[in-house]
Amino acid sequence: MPKLIEKAEKFVFDLFKDHLDQTFLYHNFTHTERVLRSLREIIDNTKVSKSDAEVLELAALFHDTGYTKTREGHEEESIKIATAYMKDNDVDDKTIEAVSKCIMATKFKDSPDTDLGKIIRDADSSHFGKKYFNEASEFLRKELEIQGIKNYSPREWLDENINVLSKKHEFYTDYALKNWQPRKEKNLSKLIKTKKKQKLKLKTEEIKAKYKAQYKDESPERGIQTFYRTALRNHIKLSDIADTKANILLSVNAIIISLVLSTLISKLDNPSNEYLIIPTVIFTLSSVISMVLSIIATRPNITSGQFTKEDVKQRKVNLTFFGNFHKMELHEFQWAIDELLKDKNYVYSSLTKDLYFLGKVLDRKYRILRVTYTIFMIGMIVSVISFAVSFKMHPTAKIEDVLPTDSPSGWVIPFEDNYFV
């Protein structure tokens, strides 16, 4: 009989190799080997006769061979294959019948009613109480998906496993109850914990989605905030540019006036240099006017810096501008800000006013700067023309008589012996 078991094992291996579809990721020879190992584990720890042990081993080897023919009703096909094999190997009818009953006992929906049926049933479902439960379970899920039987999502498969382990499956033999049941309960516990984590994650995602949808549906807040942020930033940048332009004009004109005062003015006392008075006056006057206008353009305008509670209540005061609160006490300003933040419309109204008055300030700055640059440009042109005309009308004038040979910094400026004509 041991030789029969060895021959049967080789027969089943070749049968699966040659005729079992590769989509059977779970119901294959690997599963058959696991069942056989679990069966022998029970037999070694249970009082089972030698003949019964051989019946059980044959049933374990052949119980899934019917998958080479069909999925539905594979147990019946397995019995046919096992019967044909055993008859070819002169196995008696009593053994064939016992093997057939054991194979039918592996039907998961039915409860075994014999001792041998309980043993083979526990061996067939031993993976529920093993460490490789998750691996075997995933192979079964994938097999069902590939064969188009049912496509379980991970969450659905988790629910199905919890349902099977907690309600549909049970171990029957004393050995399985003692040695595999604790591991089965541990596997079930892990599944339940995973389920709780999934529920918590799902709940968190739902809350996030709810708040996200609520945030989108309440109002176009983000678009409004982006508008105000961008508009105010652009206005402030333009104000900085205007101040920079005014500073450039101030610096240039200050240098020009310094040179005029240190160089030309001292020469005008000489009657021979009277022809330079008009050009110098034009030159100096254009620079002074440019400086004055540059200062006016950048000169800040400070308001009263005070407001009343009535102004806040009536939404009249703009709290985003420092000029409206710089003289107020801290507690008064904090109260006003609290009132402002209570009313979203008041916040937007304040930002709108701030944007408007920034625009008015920019309009004033750029208008004055435009006039300033125009005066500076015309003054430079007229001054150069005036100096040229003056030198032209006085051909005996030498440029050395106007400009010093020593610069204010002590440099010696060389000149050629020609005249500026």
Amino acid, res. 403:
L
Q: What angle in degrees, to the nearest 10, is found between the helix axes of 2-19 and 29-44?
A: 160
pLDDT at 6: 92
φ and ψ at 302, to 5 degrees?
-95, 130
Q: Single out the residue of 310, 304, 285 nearest to residue 376, CA to CA.
A: 285
What pLDDT score does 266 carry?
Answer: 66
Which positions ≥6 away from 420 have C-beta within 8 Å? Answer: 391, 397, 398, 399
Angstrom distance (rounded) from CA 42 to CA 106:
16
pLDDT of residue 411: 39
One DSSP character per residue, 218-274 reads H--HHHHHHHHHHHHHHHHHHHHHHHHHHHHHHHHHHHHHHHIIIIIGGGTTSGGGG
Q: Residues 292-302, buried b or exposed e (16+ Cβ, 10 A)?
A: ebbeebbeeee
Q: Are 43 and 173 in contact (CB under 8 A)?
A: no
DSSP 126: G
- 406 DSSP β-pair partners: 412
Token output for 409: 């910094």
- Number of continuous H segments (helices) and E segments (strands) in the chain: 15, 0
- Nearest-angstrom CA–CA distance, 385 and 278: 11
DSSP state of 322: G
State in Å, rounded, how far the first CA of the chain is from the last one: 134
Max Cα–Cα distance, the chain, nearest Å? 150
Measure the CA–CA gap between 339 and 344, rounded to whole angstroms: 10
SS3 (DSSP) at 352: helix
Beta-carbon neighbour count of residue 245 at 10 Å? 18
Q: Where are the alpha helices (DSSP H) in 125-220?
A: 133-146, 154-163, 174-179, 181-218
Residue type, 273: N
What's the pTM value of the predicted model, to 2 decimals? 0.52
Q: Residue 219: what pLDDT?
A: 55
- What is residue 110's DSSP assignment? S
Residues with Cβ within 8 Å of 167's Cβ and at least 6 positions away in sequence, in order, are none
**Please, which residues have CB within 8 angstroms of residue 125's CB and are 6 or more apart in sequence?**
108, 169, 171
- Yes or no: say if 121 and 106 are a contact pair by the CB < 8 Å rule: yes
- pLDDT tens over the chain, length 421 residues: 678 999 999 999 999 999 999 999 999 999 999 999 999 999 999 999 999 999 999 999 999 999 999 999 999 999 999 999 999 999 999 999 999 999 999 998 888 989 999 999 999 999 999 999 999 999 999 999 999 999 999 889 999 999 999 999 999 999 999 999 999 999 999 999 999 988 888 888 878 777 666 655 555 677 788 888 888 899 889 888 988 988 888 888 888 888 877 777 766 666 666 777 888 888 888 888 988 988 888 887 777 777 777 877 777 777 777 777 777 788 888 888 888 888 888 888 888 888 888 888 889 889 999 999 999 899 889 988 988 888 777 765 555 555 554 544 443 444 444 433 3
pLDDT number for residue 398: 56
Q: Choose among 283, 280, 199, 296: nearest CA to 242.
A: 296
